[in-house]
Chains A and B, each alone.
Chain A
Amino acid sequence: MLEFYGNVIVGGLLLGAVYALLATGLNVIFGVMRMVNFAHGEMVVVGMYVGYGLWAWTGAPALVAAPVAALLLFAMGYLFQRFVANRFVEAPQHMQFILYIAIALIITGLHAVFFGPDPRGIQSAASFEVYQLGMIRFDAVRTQAAVASLVLIAALWAWFRYSLTGKAIEAAAENRVGGQAIGIRIPHLFALTSGLGFACAGAAGALVAPMFDVQPYLGGEFTLVAFIIVIVGGLASLPGALVGGLLIGLAEALAATVVAPSMKALFSYGLLVLVILLRPQGLFGKVEV
């Protein structure tokens, strides 16, 4: 019994780490730039297809596909922000929503057209590898994905904290006019931010590809999970995204086992409602005055 639940919990936490990477990406876009990126989940799916495609073509494992996906999505995010989304930074939120929903629809549609609606799974020997530690079995794929995610999150964290550009981005997000006045190149910085956010999503997607069958319509779920984590954890809070991701991953795993697989989202949405109503700044966020 203990062993069973132990494995469920570990599995959930490992997935949670990848969720945390996904949420960190959204945090960067929504938390820092305040852009309502409702296409975040679709970017994950792009990453998943990159992961699947690379595997199908060259047999490359997820750890190799992740940087490729990250680069591709970084470019997409940068270009999109620079040439389209930057106009919407000051726009009313519902307009931003529509913009991103439009992108999400187009990307989902393109996936369906090019890859077909059927799920594609990665079946490889690696899928069945397991690390054993006492009575707990660590699924190799999940463990690698979790470790990679944590590394990426830490790297991003450090970059924002210690690099000049990272600090400039935070400054620019807090005070756009002030930032421009002292020479920060806002359009470029925001594009960079968007690129980083998308890159996180893409990497998470590639890491997750061996775990779930990829199909075009997964985007919506990922987007909502990302928003739930970001809000529960706290906007623009990197520890919040980490804790939130682990929490949601754990909760979903337990809910799926204890109640029913299809009910796992019930907890997440319920938590979202409670947080929005009672503690909108989330666990680690700052109260907006």
Chain B
Amino acid sequence: MLNMRSVRMVVLLLAVLFAGPWLLDDFILSVLTLVFLFASVGLAWNLMMGYAGQLSLGHALHFGAGAYAMGLLITKLGVSAWFGLPLAFAVGALFGALVGALGFRFAVRGVYFALLTIAFAELARILVEHWAFAGGNGGLFLPALTPDNRPLLSLRGDSGFFYHALLITLAVIWLACALLVRGRIGYYWRAVREDEDAARAIGVPATRVKVLAAALSAGFTGVCGAWYALIQGSLFPDSVLGMRMSIDLIIAPIVGGLGTLFGPILGAIVIQPLNELSKDFAQEFSISGLKLIVYGAVLLVIVLFAPHGIWPPLARWLRIGRQK
């Protein structure tokens, strides 16, 4: 997918987007920031599902791990937030590799693997709820921003700052995924997804390759979790490690399209604003649960009429990428 036309489009798009904070109001900036965040996680999750073919419904584990890693680093150790990002990646990747290795070593596939990931995420959530050091159920609160706060040091600032930060994060993760997918590992991932036994017969080290997908996917997710902690300023195990978050994380890539590099981004662009709109509408008319109905309806429409997501038909219409 990295032909010249795509690259030119992407660079142009990035340039336009970078000008955001000088053109858009705070509210739109914050919505777009969340779009970038969920697009990034979507791309990360997509590495597992779309390329290595393993369904993870417990990605909140890695998201929460990264978030708490960053949170604890800042609140307990007073260390600069910059260290939190590689730490979040490492912690996430570690959990991803562990869950992956366990699952693959015991040949757990399909639904069972998905349930395994849910179990691990829930176990983590329950344990953190009882972990006083991390604030338990009461939550972990990042120190309030002082007037002399330097965003480039603390990695926390106004909506314009977070907008740029997440835009850069998205671009970096996208680029990393693009390079991986085009390279040797991408071939191996696709081969394993298509037919694992046939792939192994021609020398593909399937287990190693799947664990790598799990680790990378989780690592990137961890970094996004770290940003989430910085943006929110507070963390609660129920919201960041819960099943609701796991589902939130995967809606965008499914709606947008699995196994593609633009699908998760498109999905986030569609879902996040929908999210905001339904939240506002619900608050306006004090109806709760509206967001859930909207999410459910969108997912239902997609799974019934566009099971591969909205991106493939859109890409065909725009005539981008190879004809399959």
Contacts and interface: CB of A to CB of B under 8 A. Distances in A.
A266 B123 contact: yes
Q: Please classify the interface of chain B as helix (H, G, I), strand (E, B), loop, or mixed, using the class held by over half of its residues.
A: helix
B61 to A, nearest CB: 12
B240 to A, nearest CB: 16
Contacts of B247: 101, 105
Contact of B119 (A36, A106, A272): A272
B91 to A, nearest CB: 20
Interface residues of A, number: 43
B57 A97 contact: yes
Given A98-B254, A106-B293, A276 B299 contact: no
A99 B303 contact: yes
Interface string A106-126: 111111110011000000000
B305 to A, nearest CB: 11
Given A36-B111, A231-B115, A277-B108, A95 B307 contact: yes
Interface stretch (B73-81, B142-150, B282-290, B311-319): B282-290
Interface stretch (A170-178, A185-193, A257-265): A257-265
Given A84-B304, A269-B119, A231 B299 contact: no
A263 B130 contact: yes
B118 interface: yes
Contacts of B241: none
A263 B293 CA distance: 31
Interface string B257-298: 000000000000000000000000000000111111111110
B296 A103 contact: yes
Contact of A265 (B112, B126, B304): B126
Most buried by B among A95, A112, A231: A112
B55 A106 contact: no
A46 B296 CA distance: 17
A278 interface: yes
A278 B102 CA distance: 11
Contacts of A231: 112, 115
B119 A109 contact: no
B123 A269 contact: yes
Contact of A278 (B49, B106, B114, B287): B106
B288 A276 contact: no
Given A109-B290, A220-B243, A266-B126, A102 B296 contact: yes
A106 B292 CA distance: 6
Interface in B188-216: none
Contacts of B302: 98
B292 A112 contact: yes
A245 interface: no
Contacts of B299: 98, 101-102, 105
A108 B289 contact: yes
Contacts of A95: 303, 307
Given A94-B49, A105-B295, A276-B108, A270 B123 contact: yes
A265 B124 CA distance: 11
Nearest to A277: B106
A97 B119 CA distance: 16
Given A106-B296, A265-B122, A113 B108 contact: no
Top 6 A-B residue pairs of the complex, sorted by shortest distance between their CB atoms: A112-B289, A105-B296, A109-B292, A109-B293, A106-B296, A102-B299
Interface of B: 49, 55, 57, 102, 106, 108, 110-112, 114-116, 118-120, 122-123, 126-127, 129-130, 243-244, 247, 254, 287-297, 299-300, 302-304, 307
Interface of A: 30, 36, 84, 91, 93-95, 97-99, 101-113, 116-117, 216, 220, 224, 227, 231, 260, 262-263, 265-266, 269-270, 272-273, 276-278, 280
11 contacts: A94-B114, A99-B300, A101-B299, A102-B297, A109-B291, A113-B289, A113-B290, A266-B123, A272-B115, A276-B119, A278-B106
Given A106-B293, A112-B288, A277-B108, 20 more contacts: A30-B111, A91-B307, A98-B299, A98-B302, A101-B296, A105-B292, A105-B293, A108-B292, A109-B293, A109-B296, A111-B289, A112-B287, A113-B287, A113-B289, A224-B122, A273-B116, A273-B120, A273-B123, A280-B108, A280-B112
